[in-house]
Amino acid sequence: MRSLRILHLVGSAENDFYCDLSRLYAQDCLTATADPCYDFLIAYITPDRNWRFPASLSLEDIAVAKPMTLFEAIEFITAQNIHLVLPQMFCLPGMTYYRGLFDLLKIPYIGNTPDVMAIAAHKARTKAIVAAAGVKVPRGELLRQGDVPTILPPAVVKPTTSDNSLGVVLVKDVSEYDAALKKAFEYDSEVIVEEFIELGREVRCGIIVKDGELVGLPLEEYLVDSEKKPIRNHADKLQLTDDGNLLFAAKDNIKSWIVDPNDPLTEKVQQVAKKCHQALGCRHYSLFDFRIDPNGEPWFLEAGLYCSFATKSVIPCMAKAAGIPVKELLKTAIDET
């Protein structure tokens, strides 16, 4: 039987942080999903927009791989008889333009389309769409440089397009707005100020598509505390090791854990997540963050419409808790694609 040739699309066209983040997840994925049924190739993009096709994602193999222009890379890719692409780029160009390239090349890929990814990367637009579908969202406003917030604290200030809680600040007093906005504007030209939803709990819900049906996965809950840790920050998600490599911070069963499927919250959140998935036009899989207020009501926070099929990636962690190994999860996504 002929192996399925899968191209792993890795790296970042934007900066070294996203490049390292992509490599971190993709290395895990390559190891976890290795199978005689698959023939893996790697395309590694760097912030200088060069492409490389290394034998592995070790720094040594990347260093010796020949850098190519986009034109050269397209020539190389079209000669490889690629059956499927697995995108693992987390920067905005990687989630949009680079996926769109494979639409042009007529090579199918796992995951959501560039237009859906572009909407989900803009938190304000995502909120507007899911709100129109009847999902509860915190009251908010979109600000640009010079605009003055009108929402009274407590409020959360966040850049519209940054991930991993970069630039997110909880404002408890009006006097704190200037510093919070200054920090958020370091990451984006647009900033959201939204009403702070009291805890509660904070959970994430993954949806996968199997045989055309939406399947809700077990929830992942995050360590938050109304007094000591009312919101999650960047350090809760990623850390930098002494040797300069990125490390997963939230995968220790202390800062995050899988919710008991029998918890009444699970089905409630899954139903809301399915609404979000359909409203945004997602395919194959989706992932959403929710704040649960003291009355047990879910409030949509944001969408993270990517999955690297690494064991430490959120959707595979949720799937594992549901008895779905990462190899089976990938096979399901391939079948849907």
pLDDT digits (tens, 9 = 90+) for 183-206: 999 999 999 999 999 988 999 999
The better pLDDT of the pair 12, 167 is held by 12
pTM equals 0.89
Does the pLDDT at position 5 exceed 70? yes
Q: Mean pLDDT, to the nearest integer, of 72-84?
A: 97
Whole-number percent of the chain with pLDDT over 70:
90
Contacts 24+ apart (CB under 8 A), 318-327: 318/206, 318/217, 318/218, 318/219, 318/220, 318/258, 319/206, 319/208, 319/217, 321/217, 321/218, 321/258, 321/261, 322/217, 322/218, 322/261, 326/32, 326/33, 327/32, 327/33, 327/35
Q: Please name the residue ranges forming H helices in 281-313.
A: none
| Nearest-angstrom CA–CA distance, 285 and 317 | 14
Which stretch of 8-17, 230-239, 254-263 has the lowest confidence by average pLDDT? 230-239
pLDDT of residue 246: 47
The better pLDDT of the pair 275, 250 is held by 275
pLDDT digits (tens, 9 = 90+) for 256-310: 899 999 999 999 999 999 999 999 999 999 999 999 999 999 999 999 998 999 9
| Nearest-angstrom CA–CA distance, 318 and 296 | 21
Q: Please name the residue ranges forming H helices in 190-263.
A: none
> Where do the DSSP E strands lie in 211-265?
213-216, 220-222, 238-240, 246-248, 256-258
Q: Mean pLDDT, to the nearest integer, of 222-244?
A: 61
Assign 6 a pLDDT band (cuts: 50, 70, 90).
very high
CATH number given to 118-135+198-336: 3.30.470.20
Does the pLDDT at position 241 exceed 50? no
Q: HSE of 133 in the Cβ direction (CA atoms, 13 Å)?
A: 18
Does the pLDDT at position 106 exceed 90? yes
pLDDT of residue 232: 61
Mean pLDDT of the chain: 92
| Nearest-angstrom CA–CA distance, 64 and 121 | 34
Distance of CA 204 to the CA centre of its chain: 11
| Nearest-angstrom CA–CA distance, 239 and 234 | 8
CATH number given to 4-109: 3.40.50.20
Domain map (residue ranges) of the chain: 4-109, 118-135+198-336, 140-195
Whether omega before 296 lies within 30 degrees of 0, making that bond cis, reads no
pLDDT of residue 263: 95
Residues 143 and 193: beta-carbon distance below 8 Å: yes
Which are the contacts of 201, defined by CB distance < 8 A and separation ≥ 6?
221, 224, 265, 291, 292
According to CATH, the topology of domain 140-195 is Dna Ligase; domain 1 (3.30.1490)
| Nearest-angstrom CA–CA distance, 232 and 170 | 10
Q: HSE of 80 in the Cβ direction (CA atoms, 13 Å)?
A: 23
Q: Mean pLDDT, to the nearest integer, of 62-75?
A: 98
Which are the contacts of 126, defined by CB distance < 8 A and separation ≥ 6?
119, 120, 280, 302, 303
Does the pLDDT at position 236 exceed 60? no
